[in-house]
Amino acid sequence: MSKKRISIGALGGTISMTASQSGGVTATLGARELAESVPGLAGLADLSLQTLQKLPSGSIRFDHLFSCLAWAEKEVEKGADGVIITQGTDTLEESAFFLDLFWRHVEPLVLMGAMRSPEEPGADGAANLLASVAVATSQVSANRGVLLVMNDEIHEARHVRKVHSSRVNAFASPVFGPAGVVLEKRVQYFRPTVRKPQLAIPTSFKDKVLLLEHTLSDDSSILSLALEHEACQGVVIAGFGSGHVSESLRDVLVVAAERIPVIVCSRTGAGSTTQAVYGYKGAEIDLQKNGILMGQWLCPRKARLLLAAALWNNCEREQIKELLGQWGTSH
């Protein structure tokens, strides 16, 4: 049986970092060096290797991801059975969700990274890359969209979050759990992945969405100032509990929602916003009556990306609400 064709694109991150003269580690390794450092990797698939960037993940921009997406699509058009992107873990969950909004192919797109650089004891990059190739070559990974593979766990882009700053088991999918695992080099899924409707790749992505975390006794004038200067075309609030805000912030959001889309999510890290539990001023019933949308199961960071993609596609409020219903649902 012929081997599967897998394309690996490297963006940088800890997995690519080695010691620098200035102290600490910086991105130096490209896709070929990464692949050659993993024993047995070449035997699993025919590999096509491309170094796309050498960036810390905090410096990745939307244009980098769109370039990455274009490269991945071309690789599939050329016959790749799966595509893997390696990058830093700081923004890995956001990159995965961003690409999932646009990835239309049956072939899996797998994102992965490492929590420890290659020169550290117990470096995890090689094992993560080996597991990612196993996932990308598996028939049961077909039509599951964008997946994130870390620590032998397979996570859906919509649910996964980085939940620890430094441990190798830093990624989890709160409430939902991993979609599957790599065990004894075999890929096993626990449940089907329900794919959501992808958005069109935009010709322009200038519209900006402001994300603010709501905190005890904070000052809503910061948001008022941003809105006054038209610094954003959409707003996402990481709200209290199941999607609540103070009365003072509520008043600002109500005015804002008259002209731009506003989404309120939960800042808790797990769980959905509620729809019809609390009736006080600034709670979900009041917010929805005033045109404010609820993020449901989406975390604030991913709601920001969904809203931005919707604005780039010129979606109106009702279309955005429908997208939230599709991407923010529990299934």
CA–CA gap between residue 49 and residue 101 (Å, rounded): 24
Residue 141 DSSP symbol: G
Catalytic residue among 14, 51, 137, 273: 14
- C-alpha dihedral sign at 277, 282, 287, 293: negative
Token pair recorded at residue 209: 């969405």
Q: What does the alpha-carbon distance between residue 103 and residue 201 come to, in Å, rounded to a whole number? A: 9
291 Cβ contact list (under 8 Å, min separation 6)? 254, 257, 258, 262, 317
Closest CA to 130 of 95, 178, 86: 86
Positive or negative, the Cα torsion across 286, 288, 291, 293? positive
Read off the DSSP letter of residue 232.
Answer: -
Inter-residue contact 89 to 13 (CB < 8 Å): yes
The H-or-E segment that residue 128 falls in is: helix 125-137
210, 222 contact by CB (below 8 A): no
Residue 169 near residue 128 (C-beta atoms within 8 A):
no
Asked if residue 198 lies in contact with residue 104, where contact means CB atoms within 8 angstroms, the answer is yes
Q: What is d(CA 331, CA 326) in angstroms, rounded to the nearest whole number?
A: 9
Q: Check if 14 is active-site.
A: yes
Give catalytic residue positions: 14
